[in-house]
Amino acid sequence: MIYKIQFVKLFLSLLLIPLFVFGAEDNIYKEVDTIIEAAISDSAWPGAVLVVGNKDGIQYQKSYGFHTYEKKEKTRPDDIFDLASITKVMATTPAVMDLYEKEKISLDDPIVKYIPEFTGSTETATLMKELVSIRHLLTHTSGLPAYKSFNYSEETPESIMASILSTDLDTLPGTRYVYSCLGFITLGEMVKRVSGFPLNEYVKKNIYTPLGMDHTCYLPPSDWMDRIVPTEYSEQEEGYIRGRVHDDIAAGLAGISGNAGLFSTGKDMAVYAQMFLNKGTYKGITIFKPKTVELFTKRAYLLFDNSRCLGWDSPQGESSAGVYAGPNSFGHTGYTGTSMWIDPDNDLFVILLTNAVHPHRRYKYPNYFDWRQLVHSKVYEALDLTKENPECVWKERWENPKVRNQYQEKTFWQKLFNR
């Protein structure tokens, strides 16, 4: 009887092979889709947009889930996200790159050359701050602390900026890495002082408009509101933050800041990534020279074994880029739940946009970080780009191959024989 059943299965399989081979549409990203849906079920994020592409453009784009866990508004491919700290590499860094190319600044210039108020509380503190260069700020080695809290009901954008510029250093410049929002806020102010334009106007004129990035901006207009994905619940506002920047300091600075405040879509970000893969050019439009792109996207090595580039990060350790990102990859993440990685070694970019701080930032830990790494890694596997980066490691949750591969779709033969 057992042999008879096995014979019938084999006979049926032979009959179905033509249908299996020629009748099924092959989506190489099925496992990635399943993983993103599993992450939604695990409350890593309520909705997401994934964009995968190369120097020729977008190769795969899909939206998943909903704007909120109430499941009233579906996430759409053209939804607009608060990018949080991706602002650092899509606004502040390209503005600095542009000023550098135009020879308006030098990377080793002391920042006090452009911002005289960049001083300390004592004479010694001021002397230390005079050593801080633009390069130090770009690599988070300036000695500035990471962040600063304010009583926003009693502060103005002017008083907040003055307080940031007069913040004392924690360490000597160039001696320690501390990821600092204050450093990039300072860079954003420098762009304003040197160019004569606020940061938002400068990048719109010199970067976004030439690239046709029509849905990338600070202070998004009210008619975009239904496309903007909400972030965290605000007790003060008695509702979700939607259409204004989530970051507190950026909000205190009236929404325009060097550390956060930018809103964008997956499609616009793909254009930006494509431009970088093409060494500064997009559809015949040159934004940067190739040597400028190379300078800013390679590791700066101001400190030994530090992965920071000029503005950008590069993959190392439990990187959000995954374990297969090439050694020359560069990218950044945003606190709200956004990530973008550009890999010139494999001609690939991967953009994952989520609102992981919804409805509260505690939802991020640890699920968002775990699933983000798996998504980026599985995109590479889908493309058969499985050479592991020796500097990168799996997060503990995914160290067991059986665990990280449980979302793979069974083959025709596995389904047939129940394996």
Average pLDDT of the residues in 375-402:
98
Domain ranges, residue 40: 30-404
For residue 237, the model assigns a pLDDT of 86
Contact 334, 408 (CB under 8 A): no
Average pLDDT of the residues in 364-378:
97
For residue 20, the model assigns a pLDDT of 40
Average pLDDT of the residues in 351-355:
99
- Which tens digit of pLDDT belongs to each residue from 38-76? 999 999 999 999 999 999 999 999 999 999 999 999 999
Mean pLDDT, rounded, of the chain: 93
With respect to residue 5, please indicate whether it lies within any of the assigned structural domains: no
With respect to residue 18, please indicate whether it lies within any of the assigned structural domains: no
Q: How confident is the model at residue 26 (pLDDT cuts 50, 70, 90)?
A: confident
- Which tens digit of pLDDT belongs to each residue from 122-153? 999 999 999 999 999 999 999 999 999 999 88
Alpha-carbon Rg for the chain, nearest whole angstrom, is: 23
Measured from the Cβ of residue 381, the count of other Cβ atoms closer than 10 Å reads 18
For residue 305, the model assigns a pLDDT of 83
With respect to residue 257, please indicate whether it lies within any of the assigned structural domains: yes
For residue 409, the model assigns a pLDDT of 81
For residue 1, the model assigns a pLDDT of 47
For residue 410, the model assigns a pLDDT of 66
With respect to residue 218, please indicate whether it lies within any of the assigned structural domains: yes
Q: How confident is the model at residue 10 (pLDDT cuts 50, 70, 90)?
A: very low
With respect to residue 195, please indicate whether it lies within any of the assigned structural domains: yes
Q: Is the pLDDT of residue 319 over 70?
A: yes
For residue 15, the model assigns a pLDDT of 46
Number of domains in the chain: 1
Average pLDDT of the residues in 115-124:
98
With respect to residue 165, please indicate whether it lies within any of the assigned structural domains: yes
Tell me the C-alpha distance between 393 and 355, whole Å: 25
Mean pLDDT lowest among 57-66, 231-240, 257-266 = 231-240
Closest to 42 measured CA to CA, from 341, 322, 369, 335: 369
- pTM assigned to the model: 0.92
Average pLDDT of the residues in 293-305:
95
For residue 21, the model assigns a pLDDT of 40
Please give the residue that has the higher pLDDT: either 45 or 25. Answer: 45
For residue 65, the model assigns a pLDDT of 98
For residue 411, the model assigns a pLDDT of 55
Q: Is the pLDDT of residue 244 over 70?
A: yes
With respect to residue 6, please indicate whether it lies within any of the assigned structural domains: no
Tell me the C-alpha distance between 128 and 142, whole Å: 10
Helix (H) or strand (E) holding 3: helix 2-22
What are the backbone angles phi and psi of residue 10, rounded to the nearest 5°?
A: -65, -40
Give the CATH number, domain containing residue 100: 3.40.710.10
Q: Is the pLDDT of residue 252 over 80?
A: yes
Closest to 241 measured CA to CA, from 360, 95, 120: 360
Count of CA atoms in the C-beta half-sphere (13 A) of 297: 29
The angle, 0 to 180 degrees and rounded to 10, between the axes of the packed helices 93-101 and 181-195 is 40
